[in-house]
Amino acid sequence: MIFGRILASTVAFIAMAVLCGSLSAKDLNRGYELESSGRIEDAAEFFCGYAKANPNDKKNTPEALIRCARTLDALADALTERAEKSCYWGKKGDPECMKRHVATYNAKFGQGSFEYEHAVLYIPYTGVHYKTLLAKFSNNKYVPEADFYLLLKSLVGHPDNVLPKIKTFLAKYKSGEWNRKGLLLWARVNEDIWYVHRKWSWVLFNQQIAPEELVVRAERYRQEALKTYQKLMKESKNTFEGISAAKEYGLLSASQDDGVTYSIVNDSSAGTLHSWGVEAPSARQTGIPPADNVPPSGAAEPSPAPSPRSTPRAPQRWEG
């Protein structure tokens, strides 16, 4: 009798384990289905929720964290526009309203997912799920992506502080895809430094460097960028990085640029990981989620706040 009860309990335990395993796989597949059907925001909510509910699932949670992070990064522009329409269009404008939207997003996707930057009326993704991945799954295959994303978000400041961060990344990833992305980033940041030198100059204790000297100082950064682009073109010509390098080399060799400032200045933007060749939703795929409060038909609509990717004014800089 006792043996029968033990046997029955064992069978029940095995059945439950098998059931949970199949449910786990099925649940993760649900996120893929939402992605493929274009329900990007629902997919993000699913993957973020799965990671929160299953913090110790070494098989599925790392991928859930990555997909959650990639998608929230891609959704930031659309979620910002949703909040902006609700809080500013047809109204005087209310920063507290923007903060309430941030609270709603964080309740939906996980605390700390978004923050509000009032200076540019923007709600960026913070990378918190990448940080969770690094803290809990430090040996996972997605760690390089998390490292790269967080590096991209730390590149505002003096070149002497920014360039060593990229060198550290390249020393950690000495070959393969993430080395190539690091090299592309190195080239683009050197191009940024050249561009800012040439375009606006540096503030130096309330003085400005003479234009002729700026040309000399800037040129070495252009040459470093050209050299790195050439390396990628030669050694990785059929990769995303090699193809990108060829396009940018063509412009830079003619002392032109692509109009994008990836780093250094305060209103720069490295873009989403999709723009760096990572499989992630693009801004076009996310669409614009419906606003909570759209102005009535015929009402005047003020121009949205300028995107931090395209602000035409000269950037704020540092002294020193």
Q: Let me know if residue 211 belongs to a domain.
A: yes
Side chain identity at 154, as an amino acid letter?
S
In whole numbers, what is the pLDDT of the chain averaged over residues? 81
pLDDT digits (tens, 9 = 90+) for 227-283: 999 999 999 999 999 999 999 999 999 999 888 899 998 888 898 898 899 988 876
pLDDT at 200: 60
Residue 208, beta-bridge partner list = 203
**pLDDT of 21 strictly over 90:** no
For the chain, percent of residues with pLDDT exceeding 70: 74
Among 124-138, 178-192, 299-313, which stretch is predicted with the lowest mean pLDDT? 299-313
Do 110 and 197 lie in one domain? The reply is: no
pLDDT at 289: 46
Do 47 and 141 lie in one domain? The reply is: yes
pLDDT at 113: 98
Q: Let me know if residue 312 belongs to a domain.
A: no
Q: Let me know if residue 205 belongs to a domain.
A: yes
Residue 236 DSSP label: S
Q: Please check whether residue 181 is in contact with residue 148, taking contact to mean a CB–CB distance below 8 angstroms.
A: yes
Side chain identity at 69, as an amino acid letter?
A
Q: Phi-psi region for residue 114, left (φ > 0), alpha (ψ -120 to 50) or beta?
A: beta
Do 144 and 118 lie in one domain? The reply is: yes
| Other residues' Cβ atoms within 10 Å of the Cβ of residue 166 | 21
Do 180 and 206 lie in one domain? The reply is: yes
Q: Which range of residues forms the domain containing residue 253?
A: 159-264
Do 2 and 45 lie in one domain? The reply is: yes
pLDDT at 286: 61
Do 177 and 137 lie in one domain? The reply is: no
End position of a domain, from candidates 107, 132, 153: 153
Side chain identity at 200, as an amino acid letter?
W
Q: What predicted TM-score, i.e. pTM, was given to this entire model?
A: 0.78
Report, as an integer, the average pLDDT of 192-213: 65
Report, as an integer, the average pLDDT of 26-48: 91
CA–CA distance from 93 to each of 104, 115, 117, 231, 264 (Å)? 18, 18, 15, 49, 30
Q: Let me know if residue 295 belongs to a domain.
A: no
Residue 119 DSSP label: G
pLDDT at 285: 63
* Distance from C-alpha of 264 to C-alpha of 90, rounded to nearest angstrom: 35
* Distance from C-alpha of 233 to C-alpha of 98, rounded to nearest angstrom: 44
For the chain, list the strands marked E by DSSP. Answer: 203-204, 207-208
* Distance from C-alpha of 138 to C-alpha of 142, rounded to nearest angstrom: 9
Report, as an integer, the average pLDDT of 41-69: 96
End position of a domain, from candidates 264, 292, 315: 264
Do 41 and 6 lie in one domain? The reply is: yes
Do 130 and 9 lie in one domain? The reply is: yes
pLDDT-derived band at 209, boundaries 50, 70, 90: low
Do 75 and 26 lie in one domain? The reply is: yes
Q: Let me know if residue 248 belongs to a domain.
A: yes
For the chain, percent of residues with pLDDT exceeding 90: 60
**Token representation of residue 169:** 């990344």
Residue 271: closest CA among 262, 280, 279, 259: 262
Residue 193: closest CA among 170, 165, 163, 169: 163
Do 38 and 106 lie in one domain? The reply is: yes
pLDDT at 13: 37
Q: Let me know if residue 12 belongs to a domain.
A: yes
Do 223 and 202 lie in one domain? The reply is: yes
Number of helices and strands in the chain (H, E):
11, 2
* Distance from C-alpha of 42 to C-alpha of 49, rounded to nearest angstrom: 10
Q: Please check whether residue 55 is in contact with residue 129, taking contact to mean a CB–CB distance below 8 angstroms.
A: no
Report, as an integer, the average pLDDT of 40-57: 96
pLDDT digits (tens, 9 = 90+) for 112-157: 999 999 888 899 999 999 999 999 999 999 999 999 999 999 999 8
End position of a domain, from candidates 88, 118, 153: 153
Structurally, the chain folds into a number of domains equal to 2
pLDDT-derived band at 213, boundaries 50, 70, 90: low
Do 31 and 52 lie in one domain? The reply is: yes
> 240-252 vs 176-199: helix axis angle to the nearest 10?
20
* Distance from C-alpha of 123 to C-alpha of 121, rounded to nearest angstrom: 7
pLDDT at 89: 87
DSSP string, 144-199: HHHHHHHHHTT-BS-HHHHHHHHHHHHHH--SHHHHHHHHHHHHHHHHHHHHHHHH
